[in-house]
Amino acid sequence: MEKTKVKLIIEALLFVSHEPLTEKRLTEVLEGIDKESIRRALGEIRKEYQEKRNLEIREVAGGYQIFTSPDYAPWIEKLHRTRPTKLSQAALETLAMVAYNQPVIRAEVESIRGVDVSGVLHTLLEKNLIKILGRKKVIGRPLLYGITDDFLKYFGLKDVSELPSVKEVKEMIPNRQSAETPTEVGGRKNAKEF
């Protein structure tokens, strides 16, 4: 298959897909086209979009997806006139603790927050921002929580390595007391401090 046709097919697939498409999935759909050719085509399409379009192809949640350029957000928001799902402060704090400390058990999050987080965890599970990863091998075998691909999509991240560092978070929220950012979770030191 010629290079131009491969690019057009990939662009069409990205356009109609509601989920990020991985290179593996594109290879399955484009039978006979190797990953390297797909990778090159994606690179060329991304470059063309950057130069000429109001759209961009971003790498999110382990795959590729088409997004509108942030420059056009005001008009797109007017078109949709819907409010995005907002998370409460408690949900954001709990979600941050799960993201920075996964896998983490409820008791570890509660020891940091100082309050019961069962309801918040349930809400985050319903919104598919966190998932149950298994059970911790300790007495009582509590559930272990971690983030999902929907978390990455919600925050526009490729993977967890793109999360801001604790230092960056502290700079964004200068009025927060450092006592609210414990350095130890569940008896283990965590490099990220959350």
Residue 104, pLDDT score: 95
pLDDT at position 187 is 39
- pLDDT, residue 117, reads 92
* pLDDT score recorded for residue 73: 84
Which pLDDT score, from 0 to 100, does residue 166 have? 75
Phi, psi of 161 (to 5 degrees): -65, -15
- Which residues, 6 or more positions from 121, have their beta carbon under 8 angstroms from its beta carbon? 94, 106, 109, 130, 145
What CA dihedral angle connects 166, 194, 95 and 25, to 10 degrees? Answer: 70
Q: What are the residue ranges spanned by the domains of the chain?
A: 3-79, 89-189
Backbone angles phi, psi at 56, to 5 degrees: -145, 150
CATH topology match: 3-79 vs 89-189? yes
CATH code of 89-189, in short, is 1.10.10.10
The CATH classification of domain 3-79, taken from the options 3.40.50.720, 1.10.10.10, 2.60.40.10, 1.20.120.550 = 1.10.10.10
Per-residue pLDDT for the chain (194 aa), expressed as one digit of tens each?
A: 788 899 999 999 999 998 999 999 999 999 889 999 999 999 999 999 888 778 889 999 889 999 888 888 888 888 876 555 788 889 999 999 999 999 999 999 999 888 999 999 999 999 999 999 999 999 999 999 999 999 998 888 988 888 888 777 777 765 544 444 443 344 333 433 44
Q: What is the pLDDT of residue 43?
A: 92
- Tell me what percent of the chain is helix, strand and coil, each rounded to the nearest 5: 50, 15, 35
Distance CA 42, CA 123 (A): 36
User: What pLDDT score does 30 carry?
Assistant: 92
- pLDDT for 116 equals 93
- Beta carbons within 8 Å of 19's beta carbon, 6+ residues apart: 63, 65
